Amino acid sequence: MQRWALILEAYQYDMQYRSSEQHRNCDSLSRLSLHEIEQEETEEGIFTLDMCLTISSQEIAIATRRDPIMSRMFDFTLNGWPAHVEDAGLQPFFDRRNELTLEKGLIWWGMRVIIPEMFRGRLLLELHEEHLGMSRTKALARGYLWWPYLDRDIEDMVERSSACAYTRNTPKESPLHSWIWASRPGQRVHIDYAEYEGHFFLVIVDSFSKWLEVIPVKSTTSRNTI
C-alpha cells in the first residue's frame, strides 16, 4: 500500500465510481470480449513511462539499439537466446532471459523498462531529486525501470548525498555509566599494561586509596599476567 501511495503521488486525478461489471482486470477472460481487445490501445505501459520520466520512450528505444550490450540483448530476446553467454555484461540479462519482452523498441523485465547505460546516471539524479531516502527511492525505481545493480547504484548515490546525510536519523546516544565509588581499600582495582621506551609495566591502581603498583614485566601474555 505504501508503494501504491507513493506512485499515485505523481498524478492529479479524480475519483469515479465504476460498477463491478466494468472491472475487467479481475475476470478479464469472461468480461473482456475479443472485439474490445482489438480496439483498445496497447500502449498503456509506454504512456505511463512517458508520464513518469523526463526521457521519452522513443529516446530510450533509440539508445537501446545503439547500446552495444542492449542491442545484442534486443536481438537475443527477439530471435532466441543461446545456451550460454561469455560476455559478463550480458550475464545479468541472460539470467532473466525468460522474463524479458519487447514492446515498441523497449526491453521490459516484467513491468519495468530496462534503461540503456547512457541514461542511467540522469535517471538516478531524477529519482533522487526530492531526496526521498534510500528505501523510498528504491521503491520508486522498482515501479518503472531496471538495470543490473540498480539497488547498489541507488545506495551509493544516497550515501554520497549531503542532503540525505544532513537529515538522516542519528543513532541514539548511549547513556554514560560512571563507576560506583569504592567504599574501602581493595574493593576494586584497575589493571592495565603500559609501555615506555620499549619496556612493559603492569600497572595496578586501587580505586579507593589510589595506591599505585608498577611491576616491570618481560611479557604481556595472559599466563604471565596471572
Q: List, for residues 30-87, the tens digit of each pLDDT value.
A: 655 555 544 444 455 565 565 566 788 888 999 999 999 999 999 999 999 999 888 8
If asked whether residues 133 and 204 sit together in one domain, one would say no
Distances (CA, A) of 18 to 28, 113, 133, 212: 15, 30, 36, 86
Give which of 2, 171, 147 is closest to 73, Cα–Cα. 147
Domain membership of residue 220 as a residue range: 189-225
pLDDT at 43: 52
Task: Give a yes or no: residue 89 inside a domain.
Answer: yes
If asked whether residues 151 and 193 sit together in one domain, one would say no
Check if the beta carbon of residue 204 is closer than 8 Å to that of residue 215.
yes
pLDDT at 49: 62
Residue 64 burial (CB count, 10 A): 23
Task: Give a yes or no: residue 203 inside a domain.
Answer: yes
If asked whether residues 196 and 94 sit together in one domain, one would say no
Strand duo 112-114 + 106-109: pairing: antiparallel
Degrees to nearest 5, angle at CA 68 with 155 and 119? 40
**For the chain, where are the alpha helices, taking DSSP H only?**
2-8, 28-31, 34-39, 44-52, 57-66, 68-79, 91-94, 117-127, 134-142, 150-160, 162-167, 222-225
Indicate whether 169 pLDDT > 80: no
More confident residue, 21 or 4: 4
If asked whether residues 160 and 212 sit together in one domain, one would say no
* Range from 62-71, 99-108, 113-122, 164-173 carrying the lowest mean pLDDT: 164-173
If asked whether residues 142 and 219 sit together in one domain, one would say no
More confident residue, 171 or 149: 149
The tally of domains found in the chain comes to: 2
Task: Give a yes or no: residue 11 inside a domain.
Answer: no
CA atoms within 13 A on the CB side of 68: 3
Task: Give a yes or no: residue 8 inside a domain.
Answer: no
User: What single-letter amino acid sits at 40?
Assistant: E
If asked whether residues 208 and 139 sit together in one domain, one would say no
pLDDT at 41: 46
pLDDT at 165: 63
pLDDT at 134: 79
pLDDT at 18: 81
Mean pLDDT value of segment 133-145: 83
pLDDT at 188: 92
pLDDT in tens, 112-135: 899 999 988 888 888 777 767 778
Give which of 83, 87, 43, 49 is closest to 67, Cα–Cα. 87
Q: What CATH number does the domain containing 110 carry?
A: 1.10.340.70
Write down the residue that cell numbers 463491478 correspond to.
Answer: 20
For the chain, how big is the Rg over CA atoms in Å? 32
Q: Name the grid cell of 54.
A: 523526463
Task: Give a yes or no: residue 145 inside a domain.
Answer: yes
